[in-house]
Amino acid sequence: MKRVFLLISPLLLLLLSAHTVAAQIDFSDDPYYSNKYTVEVGASLGIMNCLTDLGGGKGPGKNFIKDIDPGNSLPQGSIYFSGAYRNALVLRTEAVWGIVKASDRLLEKIKDNSGSRYERNLSFRSSIFEVSLVAEIHPRYFKHYRDNEKLPRISPYLLGGIGYFAFNPQAKYDGNWIDLRPLSTEGQGFAEYPDRRAYKLKQINFPVGGGIRYKISPMLNFSAECVYRILNTDYLDDVSTRYIDKNLYANYFSGEQLNMALTLQDRQTEISGGRPAVTNDIRGNPSKNDAYFSFNFKIGIVL
């Protein structure tokens, strides 16, 4: 989070300086700015990160931002189209692309206080594609219309909505990235574990968050935004519950697929002094679903 703060701070100073310089310029009567209904198209660039069973901070795992590893942040981008009513209520549809990753190996420096996550030695990466429908609420514009104040150029806002996203957890095996879901690393789809169904790679999520919008001109908006996605799955990283009996894999796989399944479901022996996992050893925590989030800068053109 320190890296994110350092990234945000210059931006906020820039926006505040620009707002001060532009204070003498009033284009609130411009039809592009004061029109009751407007539409906007734009794009964003930023970073994406995740909260899963893997990696994290000290201890057995904490809630929300206390367990974020900033070093796992990867590029994210989007394109969007939105419609606004008096600049106060905005309905936005957006397509988002990004990548998330996590690794227990990153806990090496605090391995004695990692709650055995370092010794578990699992890792993953996944591409993310998301389509969402989000509503933005800009309180300062409500205040403007209520009190008949001058139209603001800087507007903090809250957002929330619904999305549909695709993911595909992978892990490194013999130098190649291998899809984990077909390998049933926790017995998903095995008759011996009827309660562990194969998870879907396309699911619904719920984006929530907020941002700050700065109106550069009547036709140009700039925003800084953070969006957190609430998920209905604990398998973003392919890790959720307990290890299964390794002998069962031979009933479902053979050849190289069997070797991959046996290797990728338990990687503890790859750590110096590590021991193989025992059936029903803890592999993940099913009581907490995974999540991913992004911080981005948006530029939009008002049509």
CB contact burial 130-157 (16+ within 10 A = b; e otherwise)? bebebebebebbeebeeeeeebbbebeb
Q: 71 pLDDT exceeds 90? A: no
When pLDDT is averaged across residues 256-262 and rounded to a whole number, the result is 97
Total-model pTM = 0.86
Domain assignment of residue 251, yes or no: no
User: Helix/strand/coil (H, E, C) string of 161-209?
Assistant: EEEEEEECCEEEECCEEEECHHHCCCCCCCCCCCCCCCCCCEEEEEEEE
Domain assignment of residue 148, yes or no: yes
From CA 39, how far away is CA 27, in angstroms rounded?
A: 18
When pLDDT is averaged across residues 154-167 and rounded to a whole number, the result is 97
**Quick one: which of 93, 184, 164, 165 has its CA closest to 127?**
165
When pLDDT is averaged across residues 256-265 and rounded to a whole number, the result is 97
pLDDT for 58 equals 64
Domain count, the chain: 1
Higher-pLDDT residue of 7, 190:
190
Q: 289 pLDDT exceeds 90? A: yes
Q: 214 pLDDT exceeds 90? A: yes
* DSSP 8-state assignment for residue 218: T
Here the CATH number for the domain that contains residue 66 is 2.40.160.20
Which tens digit of pLDDT belongs to each residue from 27-36?
Answer: 555 655 667 8
Spatial neighbors of 64 by CB under 8 A, at least 6 apart, are 51
pLDDT for 24 equals 43
When pLDDT is averaged across residues 43-58 and rounded to a whole number, the result is 91
Which of 15-24, 63-72, 137-146, 174-183 holds the top average pLDDT? Answer: 174-183
Q: 123 pLDDT exceeds 50? A: yes
pLDDT, averaged across the chain: 87
pLDDT for 110 equals 83
Q: 163 pLDDT exceeds 50? A: yes
When pLDDT is averaged across residues 223-248 and rounded to a whole number, the result is 97
Question: Which residue segment(s) compose the domain that 156 sits in?
Answer: 2-173+194-235+287-302
Domain assignment of residue 181, yes or no: no
Assign 13 a pLDDT band (cuts: 50, 70, 90).
very low
pLDDT over 70, % of the chain: 83
CA dihedral for 169, 288, 73, 229, sign (positive or negative): positive
Determine how many CB atoms are found less than 10 A away from the CB of residue 105: 18
Domain assignment of residue 248, yes or no: no
From CA 20, how far away is CA 36, in angstroms rounded?
A: 26
Domain assignment of residue 25, yes or no: yes
Query: Residue 93 corresponds to which amino acid?
Result: T
From CA 285, how far away is CA 51, in angstroms rounded?
A: 12
**Quick one: which of 255, 163, 162, 214 has its CA closest to 16?**
214
Q: 69 pLDDT exceeds 90? A: no
N- to C-terminal Cα separation, the chain: 35
Domain assignment of residue 254, yes or no: no
Domain assignment of residue 67, yes or no: yes
Could you tell me if 234 and 289 are in contact, meaning their C-beta atoms sit under 8 angstroms apart? yes
Assign 65 a pLDDT band (cuts: 50, 70, 90).
low
Domain assignment of residue 255, yes or no: no
